[in-house]
Structure 1
Amino acid sequence: MDNAEIAAHLEQLADLSEIAGENPFKVRAYRAAAARIRDLPTPVQELLREGGLEALEQLPGIGERIATKIVQLLETGEIEALRKLRERVPVGLLDVLAIEGVGPKKARAFWQQLGITNVDELERAARAGKLRTLPGMGERSERKILAAIERWRAHQGRYLLPDAEADMRRVLAAIRETGDAHRLEAAGSLRRRRETIGDLDVLVSASRSDRIMEAVRALSREVLGLGETRAAVVLRSGMHCDVRVVDDRSWGSALHYFTGSKAHSVALRGLARSQGLTINEYGVFRLREDGTAGERIAGDEEPEVFLALGLDYIPPELRENRGEIEAAAAGTLPVLIERADVCGDLHVHTTWSDGRESIETMARAAIERGHRYIAITDHSARLAMTGGLDAKRLREQWREIEAAQRSVGDAIRLLRGIEVDILEDGTLDMPADALAELDVVVASVHSHFGQDLETMTARLLRAIESGRVDILGHPTGRLLLRRDPYAFDPERVFAAAKAAGVALEINASPLRLDLSDTLAKAAHEAGCALVISTDAHHPTHLDFLRYGVDVARRGWCERRHVLNTEPDPERLLARLHEGHR
């Protein structure tokens, strides 16, 4: 069991405890422990092997009681306290908690006062007008919950990238352990780096498949199909996984075929037919006069598939039939940005707001990752739940930034910044004179997401045109699988950002990935500058940068489109401030 699975059990323990009305301090302790374990760079099982229970107890936020529960989980497969809670509290309420706008207190009220135990019952109660009988609920609340349920259902069966990657790692490791795989790779939407994943596709080349099929079966909670060369299973997480075994000679064509997307593959097959060829998972073949496949001319390696059609190699991230085939034919594919091109992070939180580590700790973690600079951008005061900064505390924070800079020396440049709230009327939650003294001002929307398109667009334009904003943070406000983007006019916002010299953020948090790939492409095509930042609240979150690079690559971004590919912090700031400072 890996850290993510352990954290998921602790999160469920926290959720069910809160719904059951247990001690709020205990609930907070479970949540803090879950976050600590999820972010832990070392596997818990390795910690226990090397240092025993004491090593686990010494982790901040864990302690003896929670450490004992974790050991119990690893030894028996369950936490006794969680098992007992599942007997008391309907487990279907965990799905109710996943509905936007429903927290543990509301879920508890729905259950105890209306007998609601799952999403279907919640929907029926909302349609029947029963929710409005509860304090603080009305007809408008019922409409919002019904809309949220509809969104929740649309997202069922989708997984965030880190969750999909965790399952993929387990599958690949199990196949490798058989010793029978010659070549092994993730295919499908995970290889194309889509923002959410529906199922996993794994390609293996091997001379025998029986032990590989058995290894995959052992990871599953349900077997949908199991043959000599294909396994279709449901993994313990609930994610579907297809594993295909091919011979070595078919590797390249099979990898292309099973990577997709379907739209890309259909378009490529059409191009092949126009050239008297046909493509399938076994190779590229000449077409006979009767329309059947004849001589095989390519397919051992994936680049051969494209070369046979007179195309440049198309990176997996671009294979969505959005013009990549035409660009490959014309020799005009972009030279996509790579992780190594990004030199720093311009959106980092610390314990001065809702981050979990100090400025110096975040700085040293950034140094370990090769960053040349990071911007410390804690929240402004309006976002009260984060303990955000007013102008007085902001200036106090500068002293700690200066002290941290002295401590780390020239290894990294620490930039003074803030994530300032864009208030409902478009003004900024910080006096202009304080903002003027900062290196980096990220401005973001954190409230009033339901404004109509015109109101939200005007709100964003006012902030962009204030002359105090350097970066528009997570510009659409979405939370993947949880909250849809707010309504606004991207064309007008991008035009204003370009005119004002305001960069648009690709927020690399896997819960956001905001801008999306299509909007990132539209933004740089409109002439806007982009930055890729992690919105890190813990040192390990700095590693999210790769997800932002995935989005940028899917958005056809080159190094030149992204400001924080600049290695020199002074030149970066000059470019960041250009046009409005």
Structure 2
Amino acid sequence: MPESVGSTNARCADRLREAADLLEAQGANPFRVTAYRRAADTVLHLDEDIGTLVEREGLPGLDALPGIGRGIASALLEMVRNGRWTQLERLRGSVDPVQLLTTVPGLGHRLAERIHEELHVDTLEALEVAAHDGRLESVPGVGARRAASIRASLQQMLSRSRPRRPASAPGGSAAPSVETLLAVDREYREKASAGKLPAIAPRRFNPSGEAWLPVLHAARDGWQFTALYSNTAQAHQLGRTRDWVVLYFYDDEHAEGQGTIVTETHGPLSGRRVVRGREAECRAHYAD
């Protein structure tokens, strides 16, 4: 195998192994750890350059490799096309979601920062969901016309890199129930408050480099979860860094979804923990 092929594949394999090591150190499910290490071995021993495979076959070609599911295939596509992997940066504490959002045509730094602060999105896929469900156009400075333009740009950017079907649990649900999300949120906050979780040192808003951000990896109802307090400028300004929780969820093929849980401050759910964007389901949950 030519040196250039080996080095490209080795860089991707190294990232997968680093993610596995971080997940293991942070107490994640051994199934997730093993899956990333197995995928790293597959990539390292490919007979061709993974970039060549991507150009020829795209996501389906990666998904067809032994030990590579939809989620890891999407991760490899991100590494090859963008030279980065958001999930790994999140595990390291070095993710910069604002910089990522500015890769969308028409999104400058200020507007990208405002979108991140308002919607708590840190991936292009999460931004696309917000662009389609109406949340994006409600952000000051966006509006319906700009939201439509962003949707079109994201469609073009992600059309070749999206999984063939959305993340889903073994039972077929597209996302965990609000009951499951609220249970993981409760587990995270209780363990974080008791000092029972490992902590990472986020790069943003942390000039001292202190490892203050607790991280939980958990399995519940067929889903794998990673939970972190929101480390945004708005969370710091409003004193909500120990209230707003971002949950990343993964199905059995490691495809990723995201949700944010906050304490509601007004209306009938005031004082309750609420999954943003799923308030109606939360009202039904608390009414039971």
Q: TM-score, normalised by structure 2?
A: 0.30
Q: TM-score, normalised by structure 1?
A: 0.15
> Rg bigger for which structure?
1
